[in-house]
Amino acid sequence: MNVAQPNKWQRHRAARAMAHYASDAAELAEFLEMAGLTAEEGKFVPEDEPEPEHELPAARSEEPKVPPGELRRLANVLLASYGR
Residue 14 lies in a domain: yes
- Does this model's pTM top 0.85? no
% of residues, the chain, pLDDT over 90? 25
Instruction: Determine the pLDDT at residue 24.
Output: 92
Residue 8 lies in a domain: yes
Contacts of 74 (CB under 8 A, 6+ apart): 66
Instruction: Determine the pLDDT at residue 28.
Output: 93
Torsion sign (Cα): 12, 41, 18, 24: negative
Residue 65 lies in a domain: no
* Number of independent structural domains in the chain: 1
For 22-60, write each residue's pLDDT tens digit. Answer: 999 999 999 999 999 998 988 887 788 777 776 666 666
Instruction: Determine the pLDDT at residue 46.
Output: 77
Residue 62 lies in a domain: no
For 58-79, write each residue's pLDDT tens digit. Answer: 666 666 677 778 878 888 888 8
